[in-house]
Amino acid sequence: MPNETATVDTRLFGRDVTYSFDGPWGAYWMVFLRVIAGWWFLNAGLGKVLEQGLLYDTTGWLQFGTKGSILYPMFEWFAVNAAFVPNFLVPWGQVAIGLGLILGILTRLAAANGMILATFFYLGNAGWGHGFVTSELFGIMIFGTILVIGAGRVFGGDAYLENLQLVERHPKLRYLMG
């Protein structure tokens, strides 16, 4: 039976650090985290698509819902000049991110895009009416954890994809996988 505890040796702030990632419990937790984050985004994206159809409209939120946020000038520009970009990327991006995480396929790519989308939602929080610690901030942290750990190798499609000849010929593709 293989060792069930993985030890990580690294440097943090100039000091040597060693910590362990306990075997099966750590793996179960990563699968749980990946699937729950995937469901969160899949559900949000499908809700938008099913509610408004293929013509999802973000212009109201971009123009009025983000007023007072630090990214308001950028959001307003998109609302006026290129609303088709967020109108497509928000719902369908959430669906793609959710499916990628649930299935564990291109997990790091999905998590990185989840971080980007959650960051836009976080920074678009006009007036910080709910404070600085919001669900979007926790989303950024969860996606970051999935990205760093590479959770797609545990009960995910990335474990299969990494053994394909295409990936073996182009090992940098592993950076997109978990």
Main-chain phi, psi angles of 147, to 5 degrees: -65, -50
- Residue 17: strand, helix, or coil: strand
| pLDDT score at 1 | 46
| pLDDT score at 151 | 83
Question: With bands split at pLDDT 50, 70 and 90, how would you rate the model's confidence at 23?
Answer: low
Burial class (CB in 10 A: 0-12, 13-18, 19+), 3: exposed
Q: Which of 1-10, 35-44, 82-91, 146-155 has the highest mean pLDDT?
A: 35-44
Q: Which ranges in the chain belong to alpha helices (H)?
A: 23-52, 59-60, 72-81, 84-103, 107-123, 135-149, 158-161, 165-169
Alpha-carbon distance of 151 to 116, in angstroms, equals 18
Sequence-ordered list of residues with C-beta below 8 angstroms from that of 61, at least 6 positions apart, any chain = 124
| Backbone φ/ψ region at 14: left (φ over 0), alpha (ψ -120 to 50), beta | left
The predicted model gives 25-52 an average pLDDT of 92
Alpha-carbon distance of 112 to 59, in angstroms, equals 24
Q: pTM value?
A: 0.84
Question: With bands split at pLDDT 50, 70 and 90, how would you rate the model's confidence at 127?
Answer: low
Average pLDDT, the chain: 86
Question: With bands split at pLDDT 50, 70 and 90, how would you rate the model's confidence at 124?
Answer: confident
The predicted model gives 26-44 an average pLDDT of 92
